[in-house]
Amino acid sequence: MQKCQSYISEHKDRFLDELLGLLRIPSVSADPSRSADMQKAAALIRDELEKAGADVSKVCEIEGHPIVYGEKIIDPTLPTVLVYGHYDVQPPDPLDLWDSPPFDPVIKDEKIYARGACDDKGQMYMHIKAFEAMVKTGSLACNVKFMIEGEEEVGSEGLGPFLEQNKEMLAADVVLVSDTSIIANDIPSITCGLRGITYLQVEVTGPNMDLHSGTFGGAVANPINVLCKMIASLTDENNHITIPNFYDDVLELGEQERSAMNKAPFDLDAYKEMLGIADVQGEAGYTTIERASIRPTLDCNGIWGGYTEEGAKTVLPSKAHAKISMRLVPNQDPHKIADLFQKHFEAIAPSSVSVKVDPFHGGQPYLTPTDNKGYKAAHYAMEKGFGKAPLPARAGGSIPIVALFEKTLGLKTILMGFGLNSDQIHSPNEHYGLFNFYKGIETIPYFYEEFARLSAC
Ligand code: BES
Ligand code: MN
Ligand code: MN
C-alpha cells in the first residue's frame, strides 16, 4: 500500500493534467448538438482505462449516449468491485455567470473550475487513477469492473435495459460510486441514502390563440395566472405538499434516528451566508438537514409562457408551461407519485383552461445498509484517508441507477463521494478542490484492500 501511495504522489501533476483534458470536452447529455462530444469523452475514458491497465475496455453503443465498460479480473476467486460513474454533465447555462469558460478549466485558489469538475468527471476520474496506481504497483486486491455512463443527468433511461442485457458481464460483489459529498474536508462522511425523483412538465391552455390583453383580459382565463395559482396551491402554509395521498408511503424516521442525524455538524448561519439568504424555508416540524434529505419536496424548476423578450407586449397568451420535480424518500414510488400528481393537477384546473401533464423521468430512492462488507470497507478507507472516522449522512440528490443495481444485479451500492455541497454542481462556477481530488485517489485503494480482507474471512 505504501508503494501505491507513493506512486500517487509521484504522478499527481499528470493526473490533474489528464483530468483537465477530459473537462475540456463539453459532454452535455441534454444537448443534442453535443453528441460528437459525448463520443469523444467516451473514447477518451476507454483509452484511459486501457492505459491504466484494464484488460477489457470498450465503448458500448446503446440507444442514447454510449456506456464505457472496462475490467481487470486478476483472480476469479477474489471479490469484484463494480465502479460506476458518469461522464455526462449538466448544461453550463447561464454562461454569463461564469468567471471563466465552463469547458476551459482553470485552477484557482486550490480548486479546479469547470463544468463537471466535481459532478462527476473529477470524482469518476479519481477511480481510474486509483486503479492505475494499484495496477502499476501490484497492489490491486480485488477484481475491478468499470461502468461509466453518459446519461445520468438526463435520467439514465438507457441504463436499465443495459443492466438487464449484461447481467453476466456486470456481475460483481458491490458497486462503488463517487458522485456525492462529504460534510466538510475535516468531517468525512459516507452517503447512506439518496432521494428518488419524479420529474414532469405541465402545459396549461386557455384560449386557442394569443389575445389582446385589453380586449379580452378580465373575461378570459390567463393560463400563466392560472398555472401560478395551481403551482402555489401544491404546498400549504406549512410547506406540506397538498396532493392527496402524497405522503402515504413515506417512511417516517424514529426519534432516535432523527436526533442522530441532527447531531451532525451543521452551521445554519454559514449556510445562510453561503446562499445569501436572510432565512431558510421548509416543511414545518423539520430541521434544515431533515428537509434536505429525509423529507419529500416539490419544486418548480422552470416556468414560461407569454412575452419574455425586452420591453412590454400586452398579450394574454394561449399557453403556459412549467417543469416540476418532486424529490422522493423511501418507500415512495416515482410512478405512483406521477399518477397522483397528474390526477390532482387535472382535478384542480378551473374549467376555463385545459391541462396536459407529461412525465419526463424518475428514479427510486435508495438506502445503503451499514452492516455489510462494502460499507465497512468504505468506513475503513475514509478513516485511513482522512485520519478521522466518517459519519453516515443522507443526501438530498438522486442517482436513479442505484436502485436498479439492487433490483437487476442484486448489488448494494456504496456512495463514497468526496465533493462538498458548496462545489456549485449544476450551477455556474462549478469547482472541485484539489484536496478532494487527491484525497479521493488516496482513499480509494484502502477500500479495495479492506473489501478483499473482509471478503476473505
Ligand atoms: N451527483 C448528482 C447527485 C447527487 C449530488 C447526490 C449531490 C448527492 C449529493 C447527480 O449527478 C445528479 O445531479 N442527479 C440528478 C438526477 C436527475 C437528473 C434524475 C439530480 O439529483 O437532480
Ligand atoms: Mn453526478
Ligand atoms: Mn448531477
Same domain, 107 and 205: no
Tell whether 340 and 447 lie within a shared domain: no
- The predicted model scores a pTM of 0.94
Atom of ligand 1 nearest to the CA of 361: 19
Report yes or no on 410 lying in a domain: yes
196 lines ligand 1 (CB under 6 A): no
Q: Looking at 49-63, 267-281, 356-370, 433-447, which range is the least confident one?
A: 356-370
- Computed over every residue of the chain, the mean pLDDT equals 97
- Categorize the per-residue pLDDT at 120 as very low, low, confident or very high, splitting at 50, 70 and 90: very high
Count the Cβ atoms, other than its own, within 10 Å of residue 73: 13
CA of 152 from ligand 2 middle (Å) equals 7
Alpha helices in 137-196 (DSSP H): 159-165
Q: Considering the domain boundaries, does residue 31 fall inside one?
A: yes
Q: 122 in ligand 1 pocket by Cβ < 6 Å? A: no
pLDDT tens sequence across 166-176: 999 999 999 99
Q: Letter for the amino acid at 24?
A: R
Ligand 1: which of 398, 413, 436 to mutate, most ligand atoms within 8 Å of CB? 398
Percent of the chain with pLDDT over 90: 97
- Domain CATH number, residue 439: 3.40.630.10
Last residue of a domain, one of 363, 387, 417: 363
- Please, are residues 351 and 425 in contact by the beta-carbon 8 Å criterion? no
Confidence at residue 157, expressed as pLDDT on a 0 to 100 scale: 86
Q: Is the CB of 416 under 6 A from ligand 1?
A: no
Q: Residue 378: CB within 6 Å of ligand 1? A: no
Q: Is residue 218 part of a domain?
A: yes
Regarding whether 204 and 143 lie in a shared domain, the answer is no
The residues, any chain, with a CB within 8 Å of residue 213's CB and separated by 6 or more, are 222, 314, 315, 316
The residue among 342, 363, 384 that closes a domain is 363
CATH of the domain at 209: 3.30.70.360
* Residues 42 and 159 occupy one common structural domain: yes
Q: In terms of Cα–Cα distance, which of 156, 138, 155 is closest to 147?
A: 156
Do 142 and 24 belong to one domain? yes
320 and 402 share one domain: no
Q: Measured from the CB, is residue 89 less than 6 Å from ligand 1?
A: no
Q: Is the CB of 27 under 6 A from ligand 1?
A: no
CA of 120 to the centre of ligand 2 (A): 5
DSSP of 237-269, one letter per residue? Answer: TT--B-STTTTTT--PPPHHHHHHHTTS---HH
pLDDT interval class at 208 (50, 70, 90): very high
Task: Decide whether any atom of ligand 1 lies within 6 Å of the 397 Cβ.
Answer: yes
Q: Which of these, 134, 144, 208, 150, lies nearest to 172 by C-alpha position?
A: 144
Q: What are phi and psi of 333, to 5 degrees?
A: -110, 125
Enumerate the H helices of 166-297 as residue ranges. 223-232, 255-261, 268-275, 288-291
Instruction: Find out whether 445 and 135 touch, Cβ atoms under 8 Å.
Output: no
pLDDT, residue 365, reads 97
In this structure, the answer to whether residues 409 and 384 fall within a common structural domain is: yes
Contact 142, 451 (CB under 8 A): yes
Residue 246 covered by a domain: yes
Instruction: Please check whether residue 285 lies inside any domain of the structure.
Output: no
Which protein residue has the closest C-alpha to ligand 1 atom 6?
397
| Rounded average pLDDT over 112-132 | 98
Residue 260 counted as domain residue: no
Number of neighbours of residue 409 by Cβ within 10 angstroms: 18
Encode pLDDT of 404-424 as tens digits: 999 999 999 999 999 999 999
Q: Do both 112 and 168 map to the same domain?
A: yes
Task: Assess whether 137 and 42 both reside in one domain.
Answer: yes
Domain end point (choices 332, 363, 394): 363
- The residue whose CB lies within 8 Å of the most ligand 1 atoms, and thus the one to mutate among 120, 149, 179, 189, is 179
Per-residue pLDDT, 361:
85
Mean pLDDT along residues 157-181 = 96
CA of 424 to the centre of ligand 1 (A): 12
- pLDDT confidence band for 391 (50 / 70 / 90): very high
Query: Per residue in 59-71, pLDDT tens?
Result: 999 999 999 999 9
Q: Dump strand ranges (E) for 306-376.
A: 315-316, 319-328, 354-363, 366-367
Confidence label for 360 from pLDDT (cuts 50, 70 and 90):
confident
Ligand 1 atom nearest to 155, measured from its CA? 19
Side-chain half-sphere exposure of 78, counting CA atoms within 13 A: 18
Report whether pLDDT(51) > 90.
yes
Co-location of 207 and 245 in the same domain? yes
Say how many Å lie between the CA of residue 426 and the centre of ligand 3. 6
Distance of CA 418 to the CA centre of its chain: 13
Ligand 1 binding pocket includes 403 (Cβ within 6 Å): no
Separation of CA 190 and ligand 2 centre (Å): 15
**Residue 263, domain member (yes or no):** no
Domain range for 65 is 2-194+365-456
The answer to whether residue 457 scores a pLDDT higher than 90 is: no
156 CB less than 6 Å from ligand 1? no
Asked if residue 190 and residue 42 are part of one domain, the reply reads: yes
Q: Are residues 68 and 121 in the same domain?
A: yes
User: Which residue in this structure is represented by grid cell 441514502?
Assistant: 193
**Three cell numbers, residue 313:** 407586449
Domain count, the chain: 2
Q: How far is the CA of 159 from the centre of ligand 3 (A)?
A: 16
Q: Please report whether residue 276 resides in a domain.
A: no
